[in-house]
Amino acid sequence: MTLLPLPAPGSTPARVLTIAGSDPGGGAGIQADLRTMALLGVHGCVAVTAVTVQNTVGVQGFHEVPGDVVAAQMRAVVTDIGVQAAKTGMLASSDIIAAVAGAWRELNLGVPLVVDPVCASMHGDALLAPAARDALRAQLFPLATLVTPNLDEVRLLVGIDVVDAASQRAAAKALHALGPRWALVKGGHLRSSAHSTDLLYDGTDFYSFDAPRIDTGNDHGGGDTLAAAAACALAHGFTVPDAVAFAKRWVTECLRAAYPLGRGHGPVSPLFRLSEGR
Ligand code: PXL
């Protein structure tokens, strides 16, 4: 696949900040974000929000970073290193969401912000306090360039059960009404279809992105990988529809290259990139 322009050795690459949680198993969260960023030739910066305790079988718990420490990490990075885009993943609590939204407004960077509204792991373990969903909708969505919920998150955030194209359009409208510039409703969890169709909406037009469904149990970190790739493309100046098209192709290749790990769900993998052109 056509990738992003790579930096010449010794030249400073594009920088993207991820504000997200750690997965010690290395499959999702900041570990997935950094892997995709590195393999796309982007320098990844990190504001850690939470340390989860998990493996491929499930999440045993997590420990939150105080909101002011998350905001301080953001400030430290953007005032020195500078970033061309940012993304959020697991935000854990209302305190962290308020701090991230406050810091983002204060820093006023004018660069794209991708909000992946992580609510739970694929095993259904909570990664966001239910009481914090209001903060996510009210405080962070209006600051987002792009929000990227999966169908479970759509149900939790706007109460719509996406079962077909019409309900997917209704969900995109309801999400867009919460204030993001663009809303992407990912259809990957609609298991009845042989395709995975994501629907993007900007308040006027719908854009549909179709890929073959890759049947694998090793899909841990798929959402993180899509949002990270979109943030990298936006950092390179792609339009949002072009960034989403790129990210969709990237995550499809990462699903094809996913590998078994542990006793549960293995991770999607951008490591295919290392053997390209050999
Ligand atoms: O894939 C969503 C996600 C994001 N961040 C962390 C996670 C997960 C899923 O398990 O653990 C830290």
In angstroms, what is the span from residue 205 Cα to ligand 1's centroid? 30
Q: Does the structure show a pLDDT above 90 at 191?
A: no
**Alpha helices in the chain, H assignment, sequence order:** 29-39, 67-80, 94-107, 133-135, 151-158, 165-176, 222-235, 240-256
Ligand 1 in reach of 153 Cβ (< 6 A): no
Over pLDDT 70: what percentage of the chain? Answer: 99
Maximal CA-CA distance, the chain: 50
Fold for 15-262, please state it.
UDP-N-acetylmuramoyl-L-alanine:D-glutamate ligase (3.40.1190)
pLDDT value for 190: 79
- Closest approach atom of ligand 1 to CA 125: 10
In angstroms, what is the span from residue 121 Cα to ligand 1's centroid? 6
pLDDT band at 56 (very low <50, low <70, confident <90, very high): very high
Ligand 1 in reach of 52 Cβ (< 6 A): yes
Return the residue whose CA atom lies nearest to atom 10 of ligand 1: 121
8 Å CB contact between 225 and 34: no
Q: Can you tell me the mean pLDDT for 170-176? A: 98
Give tens-digit pLDDT for 113-172.
999 999 998 888 899 989 999 999 999 999 999 999 999 999 999 999 999 999 999 999
Q: Can you tell me the mean pLDDT for 186-205? A: 89
In angstroms, what is the span from residue 228 Cα to ligand 1's centroid? 13
Residue found under tokens 């792009």 = 146
